[in-house]
Structure 1
Amino acid sequence: MERNVVLIALFTALIAALGLVPKLTLASGIPITAQSLGIMLCGTVLGAKRGALAVLLFVVLVAAGLPLLAGGRGGLGVFTTPWAGFYYGFPIAAFVTGLIVEKWNGSNVSVVAGVAAVIGGIGALYLVAVPYYMVMKPAGLGEAVLTAMAPFMPGDLIKAVLAGLITGALYKARPSSVLSRAKAA
């Protein structure tokens, strides 16, 4: 129990720290950061439940006003923008990513984690973020995909590969530390 709490807090801090990595701001005003790599790692390393809890804690801390998002943003106001679908989708993305790693018994953990990060960390996230953008903007599907999805895909795919490689290396070095692969997780 205590170990789970510590790991959830640690991965919440990891997501926050990855928001400090120098960002690239698109013309739309939304920054590209490494925070989504943290979301993916929560799922690939911690598993579905712990990963989602770590990300949910991050979202709650942002809502409470902590400036944990790129550019030092935080507070309830960030949840009213067309981009808030990403924040709402973060815990879902971590959960789906973790669930795939837990259920898929492939022997190559790097590949399993990388594919899970693509399906959960990208696919599930955009299934929430794009429709949310369409409603809040309002915008059609084409505009939403071109504005809220397409510019992020190359970086997201790189982050998914990194999540797979990091998880695989961690599993090779210390298999018991990758809780998503533990039989009694």
Structure 2
Amino acid sequence: MERNVVMIALFTALIAALGLLPKLTLASGIPITAQSMGFMLAGAILGAKRGALAALLFVVLVAAGLPLLAGGRGGLGVFASPWAGFYYGFPLAAFVTGLVMERWKGGNVGLIAGIAAVIGGIGALYLVAVPYYIIAKPAGLGESLLVVMAPFMPGDLIKAVITGLITGALYKARPSSILSRAGVAA
């Protein structure tokens, strides 16, 4: 139990720290950061429940006013923007990434983590972010896909690959540290 709490807190801190890396702000106003890779890593390494709890704790801390989002943003106001679907989708993204890791038995852990990051960290995240943007903006599906997804896909795919590489290397060095793979033979 104590280890779980520490790991959840550690990954919440990692997600926050990844928001400190230099950001690139698009014309639409949304920044491209490394933070989404934190949710991918949380799910891939911690598993579904712990990864989702790390992401949820991050979202709660942002809602409480801590300036943890890129550019030092935080507070309830960020949840009123058309981009808030990303914030609501972070826990789901970590959960689905972790679930894929837990359920996909055997195989190359790095490759599985990369695929899990694509399915959860990209697919599940946009499954929340795109409809939220459509409702909050309001916008059509075409505009939403063009504004919410298209500019971020190349970077998100790179983050998924990096997630796979990090998870695979960590598994090779210390298999027991990949909690999503506990009890799974490779």
CA distance in 2, matches of 1:112, 1:16: 25
SS at match of 2:152: helix
Match of residue 2 from structure 1: 2
CA distance in 2, matches of 1:24, 1:78: 18
Match of residue 85 from structure 1: 85
CA distance in 2, matches of 1:15, 1:116: 18
CA distance in 2, matches of 1:120, 1:106: 19
Match of residue 50 from structure 1: 50
CA distance in 1, matches of 2:63, 2:19: 16
User: Structure 1 residue 60: deviation in Å?
Assistant: 0.2
- The residue identity in structure 1 corresponding to 2:124 is A
Deviations 1:130-149 (A, max 9, x none): 00000000000000000011
CA distance in 2, matches of 1:99, 1:177: 17
- The residue identity in structure 2 corresponding to 1:166 is I
User: Structure 1 residue 74: deviation in Å?
Assistant: 0.1
CA distance in 1, matches of 2:149, 2:85: 12
Deviations 1:122-176 (A, max 9, x none): 0000000000000000000000000011000000000000000000000000000
Match of residue 129 from structure 1: 129
2:137 matches 1:174: no
CA distance in 2, matches of 1:42, 1:135: 29
Deviations 1:69-112 (A, max 9, x none): 00000000000100000000000000000000000013200110
Structure 2, unaligned stretches of length 5 or more?
none
Q: TM-score, normalised by structure 1?
A: 0.98
Structure 1, unaligned stretches of length 5 or more?
none
CA distance in 2, matches of 1:34, 1:142: 26
CA RMSD of aligned residues (A): 0.7
CA distance in 1, matches of 2:123, 2:5: 28
- Greater than 2 Å deviation, 4+ residue runs: none
State the identity %: 83
User: Structure 1 residue 183: deviation in Å?
Assistant: 1.6
SS at match of 2:65: coil
CA distance in 1, matches of 2:153, 2:131: 16
- The residue identity in structure 1 corresponding to 2:29 is G
Match of residue 21 from structure 1: 21
CA distance in 2, matches of 1:44, 1:13: 16
CA distance in 1, matches of 2:145, 2:131: 9
